[in-house]
Amino acid sequence: MKERLQKYMASCGVASRRKCEKIILNQRVKVNGTIVGELGVKVDEEDEILLDGNLLQKENNKVYILLNKPKGYISTVKDERNRKTILDLINVKERVYPIGRLDKDTSGIIILTNDGEIYNNIIHPREEKIKAYKAKVKGKISSIDIEKFKSGIDIGGYITAPSDIIVDKVNLNTTEVTIKIHEGKNRQIRRMCEAIGHDVLELDRISIGKIKKGNLSLGKYRDLTKSEIEYLKNFK
C-alpha cells in the first residue's frame, strides 16, 4: 500500500515527517530516477528512493532510547562547530535522532528513536503533556512570581501558556524549584525565569509526560519499556 513520501522517509529513520518534507522541497530525493520537489508523491517498498544518492529502506528494527543528557552536549545529530552531541553518548547500530531538544547547559532526559511516526505525537500533541524540570534560580521566588507563572509570562513577543512553579527549597541567595510546562519554545524556562528577575543557574528535565528519569544516571541511557513505547504511540 502506497503512502506519502515524507511518511515513508520518516519510517526509514531519516528524520521527523516535518523535516522530511523540507528535505523533499529542497529536491534532495529521487523516486525511480526522478527528482521530487513537491509534496504529495506516494511510494511503497517497490519504488527506488534515493536521498542524496543513498538508497532508503524501511528500518525494521525500531529503537527507542531514553538518555539522561549531561550539560555540555548539544541535542543535534551533527554540529558544524564539532561540539559534543548526544550521539557521542550512545552506542547503537541504528541511526537515531532526538525528539525535541535540551540546550547545551541543560541536563535531563531526552528521547532518541528511528521511528519517525512518533515525532509529531510528542512535539505537537493534541492534548497537553507536561514536561517537568528541576531548577535552581537566583534569588527568592515570591508568591507574586508564582502567580505570574500561572497567568503566563511575556518572554519577548510571546506570552507563555499558564504553567506551574513549586518551591522545593529556599537557600540564602537561591531557590530550588520544580517547573512544569507543556510548551517547548526555545530556552523557554530560562526566558520565563529571566523575565521575572530570577536567572537560572541549573536546569534538569526529569519527566516527559508519564516517562520519568527515575534512577537513570547522568550520561547513561536505557531502552524504553513496552508500556512507555505504547504510551508514546498514543501521545496525541
> Which residue has 530570577 as its cell numbers?
198
E runs forming strands in 5-73: 29-31, 34-36, 42-43, 49-51, 54-55, 64-69
Burial of 156 (0-12, 13-18, 19+ CB in 10 A): exposed
E runs forming strands in 94-183: 97-99, 107-113, 131-138, 164-170, 174-181
- Grouping H, G, I as helix, E, B as strand and the rest as coil, residue 149 is helix
Catalytic residue among 88, 103, 105, 168: 103
Q: Which three cell numbers stand for residue 96?
A: 537515531
- 199 noted as active-site residue: no
For residue 225, which amino acid is it? T
Closest Cα partner for 96 from 138, 73, 62?
A: 62
Closest Cα partner for 70 from 96, 92, 88, 97?
A: 88
Enumerate the β-bridge partners of residue 113.
Answer: 64, 97
Residues catalogued as catalytic: 103
